[in-house]
Structure 1
Amino acid sequence: MKKGKSRNKRKKTRSRLLWIAIAVIGIAAVISAVCVAGMLATKENAWRTPEELLVEYMDHIPKQEYEEMYAMLHIEASGNVSQEDFVTRNSAIYEGIEVQNMAVQIIAYDEEQMAVTYQTSFDTVAGTISFENEALFLKGEDGYKLVWDDSMIFPNLTSTDKVRVSTTQAVRGEILDRNGRVLAGKGIASSVGIVPGKVENREEAIAQIAELLETTPEAIEKMLSAQWVKDDSFVPIKTIPRVEEIELMKIEPDEEVLKEKERHEKLLEIPGVMISDVEVREYPLGEAAAHLVGYVQSVTAEDLEEHAGEGYTANSVISRSGMEGLFESELKGQNGCRIYIVNSEGKEKEELACILVQHGQDIQLTIDANLQVSLYEQFKEDKSCSVAMNPYTGEVLALVSTPSYDNNDFIMGLSSEQWTALNEDENKPMYNRFRQVWCPGSTFKPITAAVGLESGAIDPMEDYGNVGLSWQKDASWGSYHVTTLHAYEPVILENALIYSDNIYFAKAALKIGSEEMESSLTGLGFNEELPFEIKMAESQYSNTEGIETEIQLADSGYGQGQVLVNPLHMACIYSAFCNEGNVIKPYLVYQKDAVAEYWIPGAFSNETASRVLEGTKKVVNDSNGTGYAAHRDDILLAGKTGTAEIKASKDDASGTELGWFAIFTTEDTVEHPILIISMVEDVKGRGGSGYVVKKDGLVLEEWFSSN
């Protein structure tokens, strides 16, 4: 009995436990269901909105993050576009039009349609593009996804349409002389190219072409392996001078022309080689104006990177030096560019952006091409520089540096051998001498005279006495003496200029004193940048902060010591002698009605300027004057010679000499006034400054006879 009651009790207990378990499981299931529902609701609330996603999508475009854009798509609703096709399409368009500065503004959101209306704008190679568009979204398992088709790029773009970019190359402006003669402009050259499919015995042919074009087979192979090259493509290899028929018809054609003709013929004998005319930059004056005009070259990948956003393309040229560089922005102009959509038949469907071409401006200089060539021809075998200007207006008429180089060679492309030869030439043909400073020698004496007169330190009629050809102040100078070439009497300022007396001007400098000399030269623009379009080296009177010794001061008086002067600066100071003491401001950009502007007005009094002018007239017109070889009967000229000793030390007997000559018309009534300053290196044993006087005299003869 007890056993039966016990079994029944155990059955009832198991039943109660079962029901409890079932109840617990049920409650847990309910709780679990509620939790899942809550989690789903929380996840959906955490999804980013279509507006936020659209902004993110557009933000990827200028960063070229196309894979990230693709990951945001609803693939099925986007026509199952592959990632490769999506990336190819978007990158080709957005990078082709050079998208930058993307901006997006949300206008509206239709929650039911899940459609975002937005306004977008961005900069492109053809200007700003702006439009309103609509983006559709669908709910996916893990959030909203963008429905993409080509209209997301541009509203009217379909999958069969193409976006085109066309560029109209701006014509580079010309550089002209004062009379309209071209210094830099359009020329025609020969473009040598290869049609790969027509080449026979490729390795041998390319080696032959490379030799004739002074390049390497590797360089040619690299050009032929470019992605765009097909068998029937014309692949330009090098630009070479064009052989003019008119040159060949001369009785005695130039040897270089004949060599070039022979090269053309040999190239054309090679199957696959073609030669066509191509427009290039040309410099008609060549070597005569290379340092002044400068040159351009085709842009490099580095140029495009450095000048990104400045309108350069792979077909552009860019300046490297001279006037080409100084006026690059004006000369280059602005390329025209259009972005437009064409349909599958190639017909234009819509213009998206357009910038009209702006051709480069012409730059007219004050330079006289004939004078430029005349000076070059006289000094082309020398290491020299010359500047010429109108002393009454400041118009710079010529800037010449010799020896020179042909800037046309840079258009054609220099071989490494040519470039090395230019840079290793001991005469430094690439060195621009008219921009440098040089020891002026006796051409500095009129400046010392003017400083002394202006300060009252020099009495022009005081006779310093004839002390012979060698002099020192006292025994404190040790073995150092100032020497001169001529003995004369009386030893007064005018005669000292005529005979170019070093001793007189050494004594004059001591009378002036270092403080006054430094102050006066500073007032004349020493240690100061010349106000001129081309940056010139600054003239100086000392290598340190000042003139430190009596000997240095004495030597400075006749243009030695540590005095260095830029030739154009010297010309400007000389202009004061015929402008009543006012130092002219030089300029290079032509003005139809030239108006004088003074850089340093009142540098000297009219009395001082007149006194120095009279002395420099005698230098050229007195038979004893060192510049008498340039004397003319028809036009009154003034000037000053100079020979500067360049020595490693005061005792150096093997040093060289610089020869100078400054010469100018003295009256503003002359029809074609001019001031020329020329400097030639290494005139020792060649006549000193007399060598320069003779050559400048020939230049003036040509100047006055042709004007």
Structure 2
Amino acid sequence: MRKKYLFIGLFIFAILFTFGCTSGNNPKDSFQKYVDAWEKQDYKTMYTFLSPSSKKSISEKDFIAKYTNIYNGIEVNKISVAPDYPKSFKKDSDGNTSIPFKVTMSTVAGNIKFNDTAYFSNNTKDSSNPWSLNWNIKMIYPDLNTDDKIRIDKTFGKRGEIKDANGSYLAQNSYIESVGIVPEKLGADAENSKKQIADILKIDKGVIDKALSASYVLPDMFIQIDNLSMDDTDRLSSLAKIPGVMLKKTPARVYPLKEKAALLTGYVQPISADELKKLSSQGYSKDDSIGKSGLEKIYEKQLKATDGAEIYITDKEGKKLKTIVKKTEQNGKDINLTIDSNIQSALYDQYKVDSGTAVAMNPKTGAVLALVSAPGYDPNDFVLGMSKDKWNSLQNDPNKPLLNRFQATFAPGSSFKPITAAIGLKTGKLDPNADKNISGLKWQKDSSWGNYYVTRDAAYNSPANLLNALVYSDNIYFAKTALDIGKDNFINETKKFGIGKTLPFEYGLDASKISPDNSIKDDIGLADSGYGQGQVLMNPVQLVSIYTSFVNNGNIIAPYLNAAKGTPGKILESNVFSQDISNTILNDLTQVVSNPAGTGYGAYMPNLPLAGKTGTAEIKKSQTDTTGTENGWFIATNTNNPKLLVLEMYENVKNKGGSHYVVPNVKSIFEQFCK
């Protein structure tokens, strides 16, 4: 048995000697490690595989610097090296063993591909690295000679611009003023000059001192300190008088409407390192800006410009020898919106110290004419460079200027009542002429409701029919109507209005809902939902879209914002209710404005008849809560050839008159734009 084991052991040893040690007899392992380091751009490890003669020709420091400068300069973001290992390795006449390979690298100008050959020599003195690479400059690129340079020239594409319906700019490629200092020109009183600059720019002088003390700063260099808008003429004039200050006109994204359209347009900023890592394969480079919010982000792919670049080889005199790769710049595509900047500005200006949202739409076409969220912020601040303090002040502002209110949902209050009326008429549960015989200011179905009552603001002597219930905005009437309709009917019919579904719209909107799960648990919840309270939440754009049904024979028109993609008059929800129901509700809503007792009478104009509905939504923890607030609504359209539908919602209107605070502002918009 011992002889048998000895024979097997000798056989295994022979196999190991013949095959297992072959890697030491060829450079495959060494080159594969070199390739792995190359693909990771680990130049320090790459250098360790160089032959002694190669290391004499270039130091480690210069080797790393050469690769770093070239690859960073042409913005290499991915390298793939594919060796073509031969089945058997042979030495050439110089005693070297060769390995062909292919290189593909992704750069700012496109992919660079080349074939080359690596030559290895056997270094028997170094057991840890028996094979070393005979490196030369051509391994960076085969046509590169020792004194040659790899250069890059960039040409910049123009980002697409965002324009309104009249061709006015909402987001424009324009210029800002870069404010910088040339150290040697600060003069004898440099400290005083820096203090003046800091005071004008509203920054700490230490920011300037830090910028000027950087190791790379030379006396005659322009050192950028800040950016200012071209419109900031007073500060620019003051700065220009200070010794050492230099102003440079710099291309930049500009938002002419500033706060008035901030939540609509959003803003761009330089691409971050994390974003670049994810998007480099899509043509982004370190010099790009990218949409961070709003339409700038939504339409990033369309707006994005592709910069051009040419990577080429020059001799030591700077003469171009060969183009390696070239990409032509491409401009982004413009976005033409349905927005009317004049309506957008007029609506925003009404809010002044108030918070809220406004939507304007053509009720026949669905073209969105304005989308306002107030207060806003100046998107130009993000382009100019926002300080940490300014950013924190925006985030911590109790008025929430970063909150997009036209994207959100709110309790609609009585502005929801026409929807309940339409459902009641459609299901046959509501007779518009019947008197519900309501008396007093509070009501409950029965004693099972305990201490809970539905309340209304005022009693009236007229019969409690649909017309008067809308004119006087009678909560009790619509609570009773909702109970007559029933939970199942109410839920099913609200779904036909699109409630509970996300509105198909270019700008992502929160979905309107009857409750978080679009269900109603009991009669109190159903009664409250009937007049727009309970758990009902409506998105302003979706509510405006629903109101188009009252001037379109029961068809809900789809809102659209992109003039090139929208379809004017496209029906979003068809035949939600009949033409007769549409006429009934529209006529009653006309009385809400024209009747002196109507809650919308403040918008009455004899020569411009409007139909509309007010709403005062109570925001409180319980019926007995006296610390809550109120949001005021008014939605109106002109009835003679309808072409404008306006919604305005103001937060915190308690003790300001509720919805009556809103009505005059909506009237003003019609006076200005519906002549």
Structure 2 counterpart SS, 1:229: coil
Structure 1 counterpart SS, 2:269: strand
Equivalent residue, structure 1, for 2:143: 156
Query: Does the 8 Å CA contact 1:187/1:282 hold for their aligned counterparts?
Result: yes
User: How has the CA–CA distance of structure 1 residues 62 and 223 changed in structure 2, closer, same or farther, with 3 Å as cutoff?
Assistant: farther
User: After superposition, what is the alpha-carbon deviation per residue over 1:66-124, rounded to whole angstroms, capped at 9, x for unaligned?
Assistant: 23333333332676332222222233223433152413253988743444444433322
CA distance in 2, matches of 1:151, 1:593: 55
User: After superposition, what is the alpha-carbon deviation per residue over 1:229-282, rounded to whole angstroms, capped at 9, x for unaligned?
Assistant: 332221111001235xxxxxxxxxxxxx6xx52x44553454332122222221
Equivalent residue, structure 2, for 1:130: 113
Equivalent residue, structure 2, for 1:452: 424
Equivalent residue, structure 1, for 2:524: 551
The TM-score with structure 1 as length reference comes to 0.84
| Offset of residue 204 of structure 1 | 5.7
| Offset of residue 313 of structure 1 | 4.1
Structure 2 counterpart SS, 1:657: strand
Q: 1:682 aligns with which of 621, 641, 652?
A: 652
Task: Please tell me the residue identity of whatever aligns with 2:80.
Answer: M
CA distance in 1, matches of 2:49, 2:599: 88
User: How has the CA–CA distance of structure 1 residues 41 and 183 changed in structure 2, closer, same or farther, with 3 Å as cutoff?
Assistant: closer
Query: Does the 8 Å CA contact 2:432/2:465 hold for their aligned counterparts?
Result: yes
Equivalent residue, structure 2, for 1:352: 324
Equivalent residue, structure 2, for 1:235: 223
The TM-score with structure 2 as length reference comes to 0.88
User: After superposition, what is the alpha-carbon deviation per residue over 1:536-563, rounded to whole angstroms, capped at 9, x for unaligned?
Assistant: 2222223566322322222221112222
Equivalent residue, structure 1, for 2:211: 223
User: After superposition, what is the alpha-carbon deviation per residue over 1:338-397, rounded to whole angstroms, capped at 9, x for unaligned?
Assistant: 211111011111111122111221111111111111111222332121111112222111
Equivalent residue, structure 2, for 1:584: 557
Structure 2 counterpart SS, 1:431: coil
Give runs of aligned pairs for residues 36-435 of structure 1, distance below 5 A. Answer: 46-49=23-26, 54=31, 56-76=33-53, 80-97=57-74, 98=76, 100-106=78-84, 111-113=91-93, 114-141=97-124, 143-200=130-187, 205-226=193-214, 228-242=216-230, 261=234, 263-301=235-273, 303-305=275-277, 307-435=279-407
User: How has the CA–CA distance of structure 1 residues 479 and 107 changed in structure 2, closer, same or farther, with 3 Å as cutoff?
Assistant: closer
| Offset of residue 154 of structure 1 | 1.2
| Offset of residue 489 of structure 1 | 2.5
Query: Does the 8 Å CA contact 1:543/1:562 hold for their aligned counterparts?
Result: yes
Query: Does the 8 Å CA contact 2:357/2:405 hold for their aligned counterparts?
Result: yes
User: How has the CA–CA distance of structure 1 residues 545 and 598 changed in structure 2, closer, same or farther, with 3 Å as cutoff?
Assistant: closer
Query: Does the 8 Å CA contact 1:215/1:415 hold for their aligned counterparts?
Result: no
Bigger shift: residues 612-621 or 130-139: 130-139
CA distance in 1, matches of 2:544, 2:171: 26
| Offset of residue 311 of structure 1 | 4.1
Structure 1 counterpart SS, 2:84: strand
User: After superposition, what is the alpha-carbon deviation per residue over 1:11-53, rounded to whole angstroms, capped at 9, x for unaligned?
Assistant: xxxxxxxxxxxxxxxxxxxxxxxxxxxx999999553535665
Equivalent residue, structure 2, for 1:638: 611
| Offset of residue 207 of structure 1 | 4.7
Q: 1:692 aligns with which of 653, 662, 667?
A: 662
CA distance in 1, matches of 2:511, 2:20: 74
Structure 1 counterpart SS, 2:366: coil
User: After superposition, what is the alpha-carbon deviation per residue over 1:557-599, rounded to whole angstroms, capped at 9, x for unaligned?
Assistant: 1112222211111111111222222222222111388432222
Query: Does the 8 Å CA contact 1:110/1:116 hold for their aligned counterparts?
Result: no
CA distance in 1, matches of 2:386, 2:473: 47
Computed over aligned residues only, the root mean square deviation of the Cα atoms, in angstroms, reads 2.9
CA distance in 2, matches of 1:46, 1:652: 83
User: How has the CA–CA distance of structure 1 residues 41 and 202 changed in structure 2, closer, same or farther, with 3 Å as cutoff?
Assistant: farther
CA distance in 2, matches of 1:40, 1:568: 79
CA distance in 1, matches of 2:507, 2:544: 15
Query: Does the 8 Å CA contact 2:262/2:378 hold for their aligned counterparts?
Result: yes
Query: Does the 8 Å CA contact 1:643/1:658 hold for their aligned counterparts?
Result: yes
Task: Please tell me the residue identity of whatever aligns with 2:42.
Answer: E
| Offset of residue 158 of structure 1 | 0.8
| Offset of residue 214 of structure 1 | 2.6
Query: Does the 8 Å CA contact 2:649/2:662 hold for their aligned counterparts?
Result: yes
User: How has the CA–CA distance of structure 1 residues 512 and 209 changed in structure 2, closer, same or farther, with 3 Å as cutoff?
Assistant: same
| Offset of residue 696 of structure 1 | 0.6
Bigger shift: residues 597-606 or 71-80: 71-80
Structure 2 counterpart SS, 1:392: coil
When Rg is computed on C-alpha atoms for both structures, the one with the higher figure is 1
Q: 1:489 aligns with which of 427, 446, 462?
A: 462
What are structure 2's unaligned runs of at least 5 residues?
A: 1-15
User: How has the CA–CA distance of structure 1 residues 83 and 41 changed in structure 2, closer, same or farther, with 3 Å as cutoff?
Assistant: farther
Structure 2 counterpart SS, 1:526: coil
CA distance in 2, matches of 1:302, 1:227: 27
Equivalent residue, structure 2, for 1:3: none
User: After superposition, what is the alpha-carbon deviation per residue over 1:134-185, rounded to whole angstroms, capped at 9, x for unaligned?
Assistant: 4434443355443222112211101111111232232221110011110110
Structure 2 counterpart SS, 1:473: coil
Bigger shift: residues 124-133 or 53-62: 53-62
| Offset of residue 305 of structure 1 | 4.7
Structure 1 counterpart SS, 2:647: strand
User: How has the CA–CA distance of structure 1 residues 313 and 423 changed in structure 2, closer, same or farther, with 3 Å as cutoff?
Assistant: same
Number of residues of Structure 1 aligned to a counterpart in Structure 2: 648
CA distance in 2, matches of 1:409, 1:41: 71
User: How has the CA–CA distance of structure 1 residues 609 and 619 changed in structure 2, closer, same or farther, with 3 Å as cutoff?
Assistant: same
Bigger shift: residues 610-619 or 382-391: 610-619
Query: Does the 8 Å CA contact 1:333/1:360 hold for their aligned counterparts?
Result: yes
Task: Please tell me the residue identity of whatever aligns with 2:110.
Answer: G
Query: Does the 8 Å CA contact 2:560/2:566 hold for their aligned counterparts?
Result: no
| Offset of residue 420 of structure 1 | 3.5
CA distance in 1, matches of 2:580, 2:563: 32
Equivalent residue, structure 2, for 1:248: none
CA distance in 1, matches of 2:606, 2:639: 14
Equivalent residue, structure 2, for 1:602: 575
| Offset of residue 619 of structure 1 | 1.8
Equivalent residue, structure 1, for 2:591: 618
Query: Does the 8 Å CA contact 1:59/1:102 hold for their aligned counterparts?
Result: no
| Offset of residue 520 of structure 1 | 2.0
Bigger shift: residues 592-601 or 573-582: 592-601
Structure 1 counterpart SS, 2:614: strand
Equivalent residue, structure 2, for 1:5: none
User: How has the CA–CA distance of structure 1 residues 226 and 164 changed in structure 2, closer, same or farther, with 3 Å as cutoff?
Assistant: farther
Task: Please tell me the residue identity of whatever aligns with 2:230.
Answer: R
| Offset of residue 655 of structure 1 | 3.2
Structure 2 counterpart SS, 1:57: helix
CA distance in 1, matches of 2:464, 2:19: 109
